[in-house]
Structure 1
Amino acid sequence: MDEITITAPADFHVHVRQGKMCELVTPHVHQGGIRTAYVMPNLVPPISSAERALEYREELRRLAPDVEWLMTLYLGPDITPEEIRKAAKVGISGVKSYPRGVTTNSSAGIEDYGVYYPVFKAMEEEGLVLNLHGEVPSDPEKNISVLNAEKLFLTHLRKLAADFPKLRVVLEHATTAEAIECVTSLPSNVACTITAHHLSLTVDAVVGQPYHFCKPIAKEPRDRQALQSAVLSGNPKFFLGSDSAPHPSGSKHPHIQENAAPTACAAGVYTSPFLVPLVAHLLEGFGALDKLEGFVSSHGRTFYGVPAEKGKRDVRLRRTGKEGGMVPGLIRGEGAEVVPFWAGKQLGWEIIS
């Protein structure tokens, strides 16, 4: 086929930042084919109240009015059962948990899930989704690193699923075969997002390339194969969450100053401006193009209870010609810039409407 029509694609994990970067990247969500976007709350300071989440949503609506923005709260001391009930009344969709210090803007993250059991109970009762960044903090003395942090987190996932059987839980941006196996084994209230870049990358492609570096880091070829197989299976537990995470190009490279240590490389891969064509390109590459609509629309929408208005928000793709589908090397706006994933490469699909 040379054209594909997809019903209202949805991205159930996206970062659109704040300030000048937010102004630059927020319209890219619609440009990349997404009609419903589930927004992460790790701003500075984090979004920890329903009131702040609604203010942020209004800002995003101003910048991209054709996108349905679903809002989340940042799990921390300010999130109480009372705040959960308030959030449910005003349409907040979920709560994101970050283990402290594992990724961008996670210094306010949690260290003990047990402390938040009353919050999780309120979420279970009110129908909010718990979104889990599935890593444990690195600890050299315990041989914990970015390479095994996700595997070691899965015991927490299993316990939360057992203790809250009616709470919808999403393991975000899975990167390992063990994560896929774990989510598959758990009941239907547990699901999993998979990013476009993790369907493409292994750790070898990250080494030496800062624009491929993200948290969780891409793993071994067997892990990438497990992610691809999960999509190929058509299992509705697995759906798109891009974790598209823009950073200024300068923050992706260490800065060196006299009498100071070099800065760290920011963790994040940016895919929003061409997300749906990228996913189509990747899925076709491993024989799963027929699973595209389920992966980028219906599976996630069903899990979250966010139905599409059929026909009104469809996205049409067509195969690119020799000159089409080129990913730009740099995207600039007023006071902000970002280097996208696969800069300078050509995609096999493009959006035509």
Structure 2
Amino acid sequence: MVEEGWTCPLRIIVLERKEEKMLSKTTLVDAMVSGHSHLREPREITEPLVRYLIEGGVDTILPMPNTDKGLTDTEKTMDYVKVVEGCVPPGDGPVKIIPCMMLTEKTYVHELQEAARVGIRDVKVYPLNRTTKSQNGVRHYGRLIRLVKVCAELGIRTHWHFEHPWMLFDNRDAEYMCLPIADMMLNETDAVIFWEHGSDARCIPFWKDLSKSRRFVVTLSAHHLATNEDATFGDVGATCKPPIKTRRDQRDLVLLVDENNPWVIAGPDDAAHPIGVKYVAGTRCACGAYTGPFLIALYAHALSHLFSTVEGISVFNNFVSRYPRKWFGLAEASRQVKLIHEQFKIPPIYNVGPWIVGPFWAGQTIDYTIG
């Protein structure tokens, strides 16, 4: 490993996958909480996506509200949740669906009150036109302060796609530029703030400071932990928002998981797209990495060093299951998942109803499979 000093004008980060001595070829881990999954629509697409997530090691799902028209009110949100609940295959054991409504500059206080009344305890904020289906997103964050205060009063957690909607900021810097917004929301309200799919390691010192509030959470996706922008250059299956960043970012995010912080949790951001919008001519491809069917195995691959000690396995369980359950106020995992330390070749495609979906790392091999 090259010296890590920040004063060096040229920093070369080498990530090596070392052969770790695993405690056992087979490890039982807690089923995951997916607090960030895109389940699409209509039902013929949603149903296989739910099934694949369960096969991928999940027993709890929070569907994202950026559907085609957006889940911008209580009625739309609960109608969608009913569809998702109806997609859980019989006999797969209890699978909990957590409703999540979109919070926008146009949301009324009475809508938040109604949401809380029917059991919605999570809302999501998107940056206007910075990511997929964010036409209902926010441009003026100061206008949200009053609404976020109401969320805190009602016990509603707030989830944020932190990429700045001011398009003069490059994609590479858009997440980093949201730090003052997160700081403002924590200072001006009593709300719980989820910084979803953190990807920029420059944010880590600031996240640690924000976490002192005990109301701040960072979620990390498997694909941001597993790879970097050089390794995925030209790979449309890995083109996502926020974008996968440098080897240093990847390494430092993995090290952040190693610290076993209760405010650092898994957040998959599994996002299926039909293959026709990934391989396009005359425009840009859709952004999203589809990891659902092999989700917990990909996390294990990215964090394989944790499986060499009992303590490391505990850190893994905390990250993917136990800490998320505490933040969401959930009971312990309904089942355990068998992870086998043997290679799994990711299929080139998955059939998702009428869609053919190319997954993240299609055709590549990871070091774990789900038993």
Whole-angstrom CA distance in 2 between matches of 1:296 and 1:180: 19
Whole-angstrom CA distance in 2 between matches of 1:69 and 1:303: 15
Q: Does 2:359 match 1:335?
A: no
Specify the code of the residue in structure 1 equivalent to 2:338: R
What's the counterpart of residue 259 of structure 1? none
What's the counterpart of residue 237 of structure 1? 263
* TM-score normalised by length of structure 1: 0.91
Give the one of 124, 134, 140 matched to 1:112: 140
* Aligned-pair CA distance for 1:90: 1.6
Q: Does 2:182 match 1:154?
A: no
3-state SS of paired residue (2:159): strand
* Aligned-pair CA distance for 1:136: 0.7
* Aligned-pair CA distance for 1:62: 1.3
Q: Does 2:30 match 1:7?
A: yes
What's the counterpart of residue 315 of structure 1? 337
Q: Does 2:323 match 1:299?
A: yes
Give the one of 100, 103, 106 matched to 1:75: 103
Tell whether the 8 Å contact from 1:96 to 1:131 is kept in structure 2 after alignment.
yes
Q: How does 1:197-208 map to 2 (within 5 A)?
A: 197-208=223-234
Q: Percent of aligned pairs with the same residue?
A: 30
Q: Does 2:160 match 1:132?
A: yes
Q: Does 2:303 match 1:283?
A: yes
Whole-angstrom CA distance in 1 between matches of 2:313 and 2:47: 33
Whole-angstrom CA distance in 2 between matches of 1:138 and 1:210: 25
Quick check: 343-352 or 51-60, which moved more?
Answer: 343-352
What's the counterpart of residue 244 of structure 2? 218
* TM-score normalised by length of structure 2: 0.86
Whole-angstrom CA distance in 2 between matches of 1:264 and 1:170: 29
Distance 1:216-1:157 versus aligned 2 partners, 3 A rule:
same
What's the counterpart of residue 65 of structure 2? 41
Whole-angstrom CA distance in 2 between matches of 1:96 and 1:214: 18
Tell whether the 8 Å contact from 1:138 to 1:145 is kept in structure 2 after alignment.
no
3-state SS of paired residue (1:299): helix
Give the one of 329, 344, 367 matched to 1:325: 344
Tell whether the 8 Å contact from 1:9 to 1:297 is kept in structure 2 after alignment.
yes
Specify the code of the residue in structure 2 equivalent to 1:3: T
* Aligned-pair CA distance for 1:335: 1.2
User: Could you list the per-position Cα deviations for residues 265-297 of structure 1 after superposition, in whole angstroms to 9, with x for gaps in the alignment?
Assistant: 101000010101111121114775542101100
What's the counterpart of residue 258 of structure 1? none
Give the one of 17, 41, 51 matched to 1:18: 41
Tell whether the 8 Å contact from 2:28 to 2:338 is kept in structure 1 after alignment.
yes
Whole-angstrom CA distance in 2 between matches of 1:268 and 1:210: 9
Specify the code of the residue in structure 2 equivalent to 1:12: G
State the superposition RMSD in angstroms.
1.7
User: Which 5+ residue runs of structure 1 have no aligned equivalent?
Assistant: 256-261
How many residues align? The count is 337
Tell whether the 8 Å contact from 1:21 to 1:337 is kept in structure 2 after alignment.
no
3-state SS of paired residue (1:203): coil
3-state SS of paired residue (2:363): coil
User: Which 5+ residue runs of structure 2 have no aligned equivalent?
Assistant: 1-23
